Amino acid sequence: MYKDKKIISFIGARSGSKGLENKNIIDFAGKPLINWTIEASLKSRYIDYTVVSTDSDVIAEIARSAGAQVPFMRPSNISGDDAPLLDAVKHCLGWIGENTDHLFDYIILLQPTLPLRTVDCIDQGVEYYFSNMKEVTDTMVSVIQLPEKYGYVMREDEKGYANFCFDVKSYNMRRQDMSKYYLPNGAVYFGKVQTVLEEGFYTEQTLLFPMNASVSVDIDSKDDLDKALKLFNRK
């Protein structure tokens, strides 16, 4: 709870993976990958309830053993490769609302494939939201800042000519005069429950929460796993 606002943590971990087999429970530094996220969520000063949504009995058992709540199994129609994760979020919130007495003001989505995202990252994100929110702010997503050179990214128009994608007007534009550009890192999604149910985590009033790239490795391949382990072992 942050002041008087109750927060539910959602960790989505369906079975199967095209990039890395069973990635959600693959061993990472001696633990199933998902455990790092569950443990960080449970240690948070602000999160009141940590729930894992999965269609896998194996993942469910691992999650329960790590201390997470797994009060339901995710339906098959929202568990496929093409199913938006937001559908699973809405299903979870709907199930909690219909089957428990829990009432939550905010939801934080933590993907289980970022083991370097710590409890400090989570709590700093919550604090950042409430310190920077405006009257119309409903959601926040974590990001990493892109190198300035990405401001020069181009696309080919319908005539086959080069056009800058962003606000750069000339390749001679100085980097220090460019806007800053960010990329979602998948570590933290935060928002009012009602807004997420109605619009998702991206609205016209979404805050950006900048994070360090060193804690933003999202494991989806063997190369990602190796990179994350190298960073982990440097601690």
Residue 1 lies in a domain: no
> Which residues neighbour 105 within 8 Å (Cβ) at sequence distance 6 or greater?
5, 6, 7, 192, 193
The whole-number pLDDT of residue 97 equals 94
Based on the structure, what is the number of domains in the chain?
A: 2
Residue 235 lies in a domain: no
Say which residue the tokens 């979020």 belong to. Answer: 89
- CB count in 10 Å sphere of residue 226: 12
Residues 104 and 195 in one domain: yes
Give the C-alpha separation, 154 to 178, whole Å.
Answer: 15
Backbone angles phi, psi at 62, to 5 degrees: -65, -45
Smallest Cα–Cα separation from 2: which of 142, 123, 135? 123
pLDDT by 10s per residue, the chain, length 235: 999 999 999 999 998 777 788 999 999 999 999 999 999 999 999 999 999 999 999 999 999 999 999 999 999 999 988 889 999 999 999 999 999 999 999 999 999 999 999 999 999 999 999 999 988 789 999 999 998 877 778 889 899 988 888 776 656 666 677 788 899 999 999 999 999 999 999 999 999 999 999 999 999 999 999 999 999 998 7
**pTM as predicted:** 0.92
Residues 175 and 187 in one domain: no
Residues 62 and 129 in one domain: yes
CATH number, domain of 56, equals 3.90.550.10
